[in-house]
Amino acid sequence: MEVTWRFLTNVQHTYDREKKLVEKYDVSSTGTGGGGGEYPLQDGFGWTNGVTLKMLDLICPQKKTV
């Protein structure tokens, strides 16, 4: 759970500062996007956005209705 909280905290801090989600996050520091790889950091990213939503659902499940 610690990595989940660190990741979500980083997503929130980065969003508060930049007003966008980015592709990668560095959980060893807060409020910064990740780096490395073969191309520059991208705005938004399907996998990262999906993982963020799943982690939020795991720690703050919403009441499901039909």
**C-alpha angle 58-60-62 in degrees, rounded to nearest 5:** 100
pTM: 0.74
Cβ contacts of 3 within 8 Å, gap of 6 or more: 27
Would you say residue 66 has pLDDT above 60?
no
For residue range 10-63, list pLDDT tens digits in order: 889 989 998 989 888 877 776 666 666 777 878 888 888 899 999 999 888 876
Reported as type and span, the H/E element at residue 57 is: helix 46-59
Angstrom distance (rounded) from CA 23 to CA 42: 5
Decide if 33 contacts 23 (C-beta within 8 A). yes
